[in-house]
Amino acid sequence: MFEAYTIKDIAKALGLSTSTVSRALNGSYEIGAETKKLVLEYAEKVNYRPNPIALSLKEQKSHSIGVVVCEVANDYFSQAINGIESIAYNRGYHVIITQTHESFDRESTNVKHLLSRHVDGLLVSLSAETSDTSQYKYLHDKGFPIVFFDRVAADVNTHKIIANNFKGSFDATELLINAGFTKIAHLTNSNNLLISRERFDGFKAALDKHQLDFKPGYLKHCNHGGMIQDEVELAVKELLNMDERPDAIFVASDRLTISCMHILKKLGLKIPQDIGIAGFTNSDVAELFDPPLTVVRQPAFQIGQMATEILIKTIESKWPIEDFITEQVETELIIRSSSQRLF
C-alpha cells in the first residue's frame, strides 16, 4: 500500500518545524542553503509530492474549469468539449462538465455546484429556458472569470465566442430559394436564445432579398430545443396541416435538424420531392442520411479551443480585465441532395 509523505512527516524525520520544511521546499531565502539541501534531498528520497487539494486551498485555485452545456450527446457540444479538453489538459487544468438538459433550474443548480467545487472559471452555453442571467452578472461583477460560447448572454459584458449565425442562416435559406423553394418554414429553438434571434434574422433577410413574404405561421419555436420529441413532432405536423403547406423547412439547431428529418420520413414524406430541408447540425453522419442532408456546420472544436484559451488567460491574468471581446467564427454550408428540388 503506497503511503504519501507529508510536510509533517518530513519535519518529524529531520527534527525541523513544519514551517521550516515548507519554506525550504518553496525555496525561501529565509532558509539556509544547508537546511534547504537537507530537506530537498530527503523529500526526493521519500518521493514527496505536494497534496494538490491542500495546495489549491492554500492558493485558492483548484486548476479546474467548469463547463455548462445543454447536452453532451449533442454533436455540436461533444465536439466543442473535445476542443475545451484539448487546451485545458495541456495547460494543467481539469474539466468538470455539467448538463442542463435545457432546464434553467438545472443550469442554476449546476453553476452553484461548480462554484462549490472551487472551479477557477466557467465556460457557459445557456439552456433554452434561460432568460434570467443575474447569477452570471453577479459573478462577473465580482471578478469571477466567465466565457460564454455559442449560446451567449447578451446582457453580460464578458468574453464570448460565437458563430456567424446570421450568415449561416442566410446562406442556407438562399440555397433553398435558388433551388426553387418559395414557401419556406423555419423551425427553431426558444426565442430566449440570442442564436435563435440571429438565425431568424438571417432567414428573414434571405426571404427579403428574394422578395418572398414571411408568413408568421411558418415560424415554429421548440422551447425545449428538441429534447422532447413530441414537441418537435407537433410543430412539424402543424406546418404540414396548414392550408398553404410549406415546400421546405430551414431548421436552426443541431438536435432539431436531425429530429425534423426523422419525423418527416416517419410521416411518409419524401425528401426533397415532397419537402426540402436544410439545417444547422454538426453530425458526422449527415451525408449518410437518405437523402444526404444539407447542413450549416459550425467549427465547434475550434470554438471550444478559443473559449478555453481566453478563459485560462483571464484566470491567470495578474491584473483585472476590463476589455472584453466577442470573437465570431464563420460557418460552412455543405450542400447535399435534401435541399435540391426535383422538378
**291 CA to centre of own chain:** 29
Given this model, what pLDDT does residue 52 score? 53
Angle at 312 between CA 168 and CA 297, to 5 degrees: 15
Query: Which run of H or of E encompasses 175?
Result: helix 165-178
Given this model, what pLDDT does residue 31 score? 81
Q: Please count the CA atoms within 13 angstroms of the CA of 183 that sit on its side-chain side.
A: 11
Kindly report the pTM of this predicted structure: 0.81
Structural domains of the chain in order of their starting residue, each with its CATH number: 7-50 (1.10.260.40), 63-163+300-329 (3.40.50.2300), 165-297+333-339 (3.40.50.2300)
Stretches in the chain below the pLDDT threshold 50 = 1-2, 53, 56-57
Output the CA–CA distances (angstroms, integers) from residue 327 to 65, 268, 320, in the order listed: 20, 42, 20
Which residues, other chains included, contact 178 with Cβ-Cβ below 8 Å and sequence gap of 6+? none
Which residues, other chains included, contact 214 with Cβ-Cβ below 8 Å and sequence gap of 6+? 204, 207, 208
Q: How far is residue 249's CA from residue 262's CA, in Å, rounded to a whole number?
A: 13
Q: How far is residue 83's CA from residue 282's CA, in Å, rounded to a whole number?
A: 14
